[in-house]
Structure 1
Amino acid sequence: MDQEGADPNFTATAAMEADRVVVTVGGEVDMSTADVMFETSIRDGRPAATLDLRAVTFFDSAAIHALLRLAEHYGERLTVLPSPQVRRVLEISGLSTQPWLSD
């Protein structure tokens, strides 16, 4: 599943793996694309999610808000794979020690 009508510098695709949705996000996650990332992550109603952000080049406060909403939605069943840029933003935001953030 791909996003529709979003920024051309952004992609979000979902793949199902048993009871987990794996959402691969690329490009810039900002106020115009953060909701698409969130909706793509919850759309299929799976009880667990992996958010692969390793191809993300920009991550702003709207993206952080969407990520925190996903953490609230999935709880301990969320895994986030960050790019260096995302990890840096999460470090600055004080979120680098969250249990859902993968090394």
Structure 2
Amino acid sequence: MAEGRRADTEQVAQVGGLTVVATATDGIRVVSPAGEIDHDTAQTLRQALDVTSIAQPRIVVDLRQVTFMDSAGVHILFAAHQAVSEAGGWIRLAAPTSAVQRVLHLVGIDSLIPFRPTLRDALAP
């Protein structure tokens, strides 16, 4: 976590080859998936990004431990972007691996959701 930031609750979910840890730092939900995001594991990430009944959600998805992402992961990020935007909040992606960044760039997600090189940068105002 960034220096001087307060981390709150932590939730951990694991399905197949994906683990998702969700924490809160200064009111920002930090979702940290690790492993492969595909059709079989995507629901875990979808649940961690659910913003139902949250006013003006702020979310950072820390992608540095994601080794693979297919269209299911892309769809979840796109849906999260729409939901967060409709709720008046924002979502950012932090530290995507080169393989994941390439997939997201090919489908154009990088033009919708801001990328930051580090988690610290993504948490900055």
Map of 1:95 onto structure 2: 109
5+ residue gaps, structure 1? none
Amino acid at match of 1:98: L
Amino acid at match of 1:32: D
Which of the numbers 100, 106, 114 marks the counterpart of 1:86? Answer: 100
* Partners of 1:12 and 1:26 within 8 A in 2: yes
SS at match of 2:64: strand
* Cα distance, 1:48 vs structure 2: 0.8
- 4+ runs of 1 displaced by more than 3 Å? 43-46
In 2, Cα distance between the equivalents of 1:100 and 1:73? 15
Q: CA RMSD in A?
A: 2.0
- The correspondence of residues 1-103 of structure 1 with structure 2, limited to 5 A, is 1-4=11-14, 6-7=15-16, 9-42=17-50, 45=54, 47-75=57-85, 77-81=90-94, 82-103=96-117
SS at match of 1:27: strand
Residue 73 to residue 100, structure 1, CA distance change in 2 (3 Å): farther
TM-score, normalization by structure 1? 0.85
SS at match of 2:111: coil
Larger Rg belongs to:
2
Residue 27 to residue 98, structure 1, CA distance change in 2 (3 Å): same
* Cα distance, 1:50 vs structure 2: 0.4
What is the percentage of aligned positions where both structures have the same residue?
27
Amino acid at match of 2:104: L
Q: How many aligned residue pairs are there? A: 101
In 1, Cα distance between the equivalents of 2:24 and 2:43? 20
Q: Deviations over 1:20-65 (max 9, x none)?
A: 1101111100011112112112268471100001110000000000
* Partners of 2:51 and 2:83 within 8 A in 1: no
Amino acid at match of 2:69: F
